[in-house]
Structures are given as C-alpha cells and as structure tokens.
C-alpha cells in the first residue's frame, strides 16, 4: 500500500499494542495480569460524571470554542493558581483531547523541519515519535552513570543551534523519579537564557510520595506568563484516573496558544463539550479522590519494592511518584529466557501471562517498566510469576489460573 515515508517511520505505541494483546488474551479467558497499563482502576469522580450527564441532558451538545469552553478554562486557571501559585489568563490556556494532543499541537506549533528537541532518557514513549511526526529530530540524552537523573552538563553539550525545546517529565514516566529542584532551576534558567522552550509535562505532578510537595515548574521563573519559555502540560487522565475522558491542557504565552488553537481548529475543531464538562466537574469537585489515588500508589510502590527485593539480581530505583517503576533485569537475561528487554517482555507474557513494557521503548534497554496502578493482589501475583519464570532459585512449579506449570527452561 502507498503510504508516506513519514507515516511508515512512526512506531506503534507499544503500550497501546500491549493493552490490546492483553485484552484479547483476557477475552480468551487467559489469566493475564496487566502490569503494563498506565491507568488506575478507580471509577471517575462523581462530580465529573454529574457534570457530563448534566450537559448531555440539555441536549445542547455542539462545538465549543477551539481552545476550550470558557468555564473549563476558568477551572484550569483556578487550578493553576492553587497548585502553581501562577496567575494566568484565559488567553494562556488551551484545552485539548488529552495531554497527548496538547504536546503534539505544541510541537507542531514550535518546530520547523529539522529542529531538534532534547528528550531525557528514560522518556515517555510518545515524545520521540511525536517530534518525528512534525519533521523534527528527537535528541536523546541518557545519563552516563545509568541512573535516571539527567545531568545539566550532558544536556548543555547536546544543545545545538537547532535546539527548540527540552521536554521535562518529573515525576517521570517510566522511572517514577522526581528530578531535584536544583536541576529544574538550572534547566529553566538555561532555557530562558538560550531562548529554548522548556516543556514541562506535569501530568503526574500530584502523584508524589513520602510527604513530598508536588513540584511546581513555575517556581523557578521570574518571567511573566507572556515572556516565559515554560510551557506546562497537564490533564485529568492521571490526576483523577480519568484516562478515557481525554482532556488535557497547555499553559503557554498567548501567541503560542493562538497558533495551537489554529492547529486544533483545523484538525479536531475542539475537545468534546461533554468531556470538557466532566473535566470541569472533576477540577471543581471534592479533591479527596486525588489523595486516595496518591495513597494507593504509594502503598503499591512499597509493595512492588518489597516484592522485587526478593529477586537479588533486580536493581530498582525507588520511585518518588507516579505509578511506575523501571527495574533493571539485566542480571536475569539468559539465552534460555531472553537476551533483551523486548524478548523478555514477550517471554513473560507467553510463559507467565504477565504484561510488562520493555525498557527499550523508553530508551533503557535491559529494564522493564512495571505499572503498579492496579490492585495489590495482581501486583504480588504478577511479580511472583515473573520470579518463577526467570529466577532459577525460585520453586520450579507454579499455579497460573487453575493450571500447574513447570519451569523447564532454566
Ligand atoms: C508522561 C505522559 N505525558 C502525557 C501522557 C498523556 O496523557 P493523556 O492521557 O492526557 O493524553 C501520558 C500518558 O500515559 C504520560 O505518561
């Protein structure tokens, strides 16, 4: 079939693909445990449901302004003030169909062909592909010491005259780490000095553990909303576990919002008014759901760390936020099992019916991303199955569903 070279070069979203594989296996009645999925299991908050239902009941479901309904934008302005201590106007806010679309529109708005975007490994799988989709060049910077913490010196040496933006995602998907304040301060200062956009993907900013305060990207700039180089991306997907509602937003200088609005106006027109009403309900409603979700994730983080510590070869940096961790499984790569993370992930799905995401997709080979957004039982059983499949010191047999399985490959 004739398709463009560019389209052909875009990789499938590995997480979407794994979700589909897991769904099909489940449909066939297989006892799959999904440690790959990036979504909590909670139900949507009541105020969100009521908001959408009330709008639906009016029957008045039309286009909204391309940049979002005025009332949702008002709620976002309030959220920004309360959580970031930052006063912005409606001209600085654009609502999209998910943070994913906000980031895409932003990249489309700022990149000329061949412009470069610095992406820090381990990175969210979609960043490099989205940069490529708008004819940009992703420049991956990987910490030399194998840690998940980027170093300013490495970033500085990757910057060229083509660099247009640096993407920062902290708390980080997939590692769960939070970058130190000093690093964020340095990055903001650097970007403002060099006239480079600093894209702060803050989608996990409230899912932080151990008494930490959610980091605020804006606290390190003295510039006004019109002159800052910081573009903040946020949304309701992770904040309220409302992944299917597809509402995200960007906070940016007016000129950029206008351009992003044109882009959106010519592609999707606007985000659905029903879902915008739901997002507004969630933002204005009682916020206890966020704290419940945060506590659930923190508790699960502790469980995942305890379970992984029973596999002495696995090294895992303790997450400080999100619902992911990125353990290093290199000590368990073995010709009878797998020699890289993609093979290991496939092996675990086939033998142990556990979904994981290969570290290669995040720029960290030899690792697997595990999501601990789900239930405790799945988490414990999932890791027990992984252990059975790859650790020769674990017992040889295991029950998966009602089948007793024997490990005969190690
Ligand atoms: C780092 C990061 N940014 C953005 C998104 C996209 O969020 P949304 O579902 O609002 O498009 C995700 C989703 O997994 C993510 O992990």
125 C-alpha to center of ligand 1: Å? 10
Whether 205 is in the pocket of ligand 1, judged by its Cβ within 6 Å, is: no
Q: Are residues 297 and 207 in the same domain?
A: no
Q: Are residues 300 and 399 in the same domain?
A: yes
Q: Is residue 52 part of a domain?
A: no
pLDDT at 5: 87
- Burial class from Cβ neighbours inside 10 Å (0-12, 13-18, 19+) for residue 242 reads buried
What does pTM read for this prediction? 0.95
Domain that holds residue 370: 5-43+289-406
88 and 251 in contact (C-beta within 8 Å)?
yes
Q: Is residue 50 part of a domain?
A: no
Candidates 111, 72, 67; CA nearest to 262 is: 67
100 C-alpha to center of ligand 1: Å? 6
Q: Which of 243, 260, 284 is the last residue of a domain?
A: 284
Whether 100 is in the pocket of ligand 1, judged by its Cβ within 6 Å, is: yes
Q: Is residue 53 part of a domain?
A: no
pLDDT at 172: 97
Q: Are residues 309 and 171 in the same domain?
A: no
Q: Which of 251, 284, 317 is the last residue of a domain?
A: 284
The CATH number covering residue 36 comes to 3.90.1150.10
Whether 243 is in the pocket of ligand 1, judged by its Cβ within 6 Å, is: yes
Whether 322 is in the pocket of ligand 1, judged by its Cβ within 6 Å, is: no
Q: Are residues 302 and 265 in the same domain?
A: no
Whether 38 is in the pocket of ligand 1, judged by its Cβ within 6 Å, is: yes
Q: Is residue 49 part of a domain?
A: no
Q: Is residue 51 part of a domain?
A: no
Q: Rounded to whole angstroms, how far apart are CA atoms 260 and 258?
A: 6
Q: Is residue 261 part of a domain?
A: yes
Q: Are residues 178 and 31 in the same domain?
A: no
Q: Are residues 278 and 296 in the same domain?
A: no
Residue 211: partners with Cβ closer than 8 Å, 6 or more residues away: none
199 and 106 in contact (C-beta within 8 Å)?
yes
pLDDT at 348: 95
pLDDT at 1: 82
199 and 167 in contact (C-beta within 8 Å)?
yes
Ligand 1 nearest-atom number relative to CA 100: 11
- Burial class from Cβ neighbours inside 10 Å (0-12, 13-18, 19+) for residue 281 reads buried
Ligand 1 nearest-atom number relative to CA 243: 9
Q: Is residue 384 part of a domain?
A: yes
pLDDT at 22: 84
Q: Are residues 195 and 274 in the same domain?
A: yes
Q: Are residues 209 and 155 in the same domain?
A: yes
Full pLDDT tens readout for the chain, 410 residues: 889 988 888 888 777 777 788 888 889 889 999 999 888 889 999 999 999 999 999 999 999 999 999 999 999 999 999 999 999 999 999 999 999 999 999 999 999 999 999 999 999 999 999 999 999 999 999 999 999 999 999 999 999 999 999 999 999 999 999 999 999 999 999 999 999 999 999 999 999 999 998 878 899 999 999 999 999 999 999 999 999 999 999 999 999 999 999 999 999 999 999 999 999 999 999 999 999 999 999 999 999 999 999 999 999 999 999 999 999 999 999 999 999 999 999 999 999 999 999 999 999 999 999 999 999 999 999 999 999 999 999 999 999 988 899 999 98
The CATH number covering residue 76 comes to 3.40.640.10
Q: Are residues 234 and 87 in the same domain?
A: yes
Q: Are residues 71 and 220 in the same domain?
A: yes
Q: Which of 249, 284, 319 is the last residue of a domain?
A: 284
pLDDT at 306: 96
Q: Are residues 280 and 338 in the same domain?
A: no
102 C-alpha to center of ligand 1: Å? 10
401 C-alpha to center of ligand 1: Å? 32
Q: Are residues 65 and 38 in the same domain?
A: no
Q: Is residue 207 part of a domain?
A: yes
257 and 94 in contact (C-beta within 8 Å)?
yes
Q: How many domains does the chain contain in total?
A: 2
């Amino acid at each position: 079939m004739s398709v463009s070279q560019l389209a052909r070069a875009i990789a499938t979203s590995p997480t979407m693909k794994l979700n589909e594989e897991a769904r099909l296996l489940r449909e066939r009645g297989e006892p799959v445990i999904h440690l790959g999925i990036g979504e909590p299991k909670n139900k949507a908050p009541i105020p969100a449901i009521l908001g959408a239902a009330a709008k639906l009941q009016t029957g008045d479901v039309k286009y909204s302004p391309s940049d979002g309904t005025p009332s949702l934008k008002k709620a976002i302005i309030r959220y920004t003030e309360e959580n970031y201590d930052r006063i912005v106007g409606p001209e600085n806010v654009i609502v999209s169909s998910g943070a994913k679309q906000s980031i895409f529109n932003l990249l489309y708005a700022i990149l000329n062909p061949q412009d470069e975007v610095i992406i820090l490994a381990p990175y969210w799988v979609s960043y490099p592909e989205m940069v490529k989709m708008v004819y940009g060049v992703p420049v991956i910077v990987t910490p030399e010491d194998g840690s998940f913490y980027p170093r300013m010196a490495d970033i500085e040496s990757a910057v060229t005259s083509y660099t247009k933006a640096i993407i920062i995602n902290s708390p980080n998907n997939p590692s769960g780490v939070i970058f130190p304040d000093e690093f964020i301060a340095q990055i903001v200062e650097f970007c403002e000095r060099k006239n480079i956009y600093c894209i702060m993907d803050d989608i996990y900013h409230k899912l932080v553990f151990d008494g930490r305060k959610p980091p605020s990207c804006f606290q390190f700039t003295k510039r006004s909303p019109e002159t800052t180089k910081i573009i903040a991306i946020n949304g309701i997907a992770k904040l309220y576990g409302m992944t299917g509602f597809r509402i995200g937003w960007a906070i940016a200088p007016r000129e950029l919002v206008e351009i992003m609005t044109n882009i959106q106006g010519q592609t999707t027109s606007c985000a659905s008014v029903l879902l915008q009403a739901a997002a507004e309900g969630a933002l204005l409603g009682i916020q206890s759901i966020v704290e419940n979700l945060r506590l659930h994730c923190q508790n699960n983080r502790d469980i995942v760390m305890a379970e992984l510590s029973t596999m002495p070869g696995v090294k895992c940096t303790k997450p400080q936020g999100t619902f992911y961790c990125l353990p290093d499984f290199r000590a368990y790569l073995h010709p009878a099992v797998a020699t890289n993370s993609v093979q290991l992930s496939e092996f675990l799905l086939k033998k142990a019916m556990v979904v994981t995401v290969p570290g290669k997709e995040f720029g960290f080979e030899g690792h697997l991303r595990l999501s601990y957004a789900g239930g405790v039982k799945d988490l414990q059983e999932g890791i027990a199955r992984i252990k059975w499949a790859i650790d020769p010191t674990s017992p040889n047999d295991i029950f998966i569903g009602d089948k007793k399985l024997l490990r005969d490959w190690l």
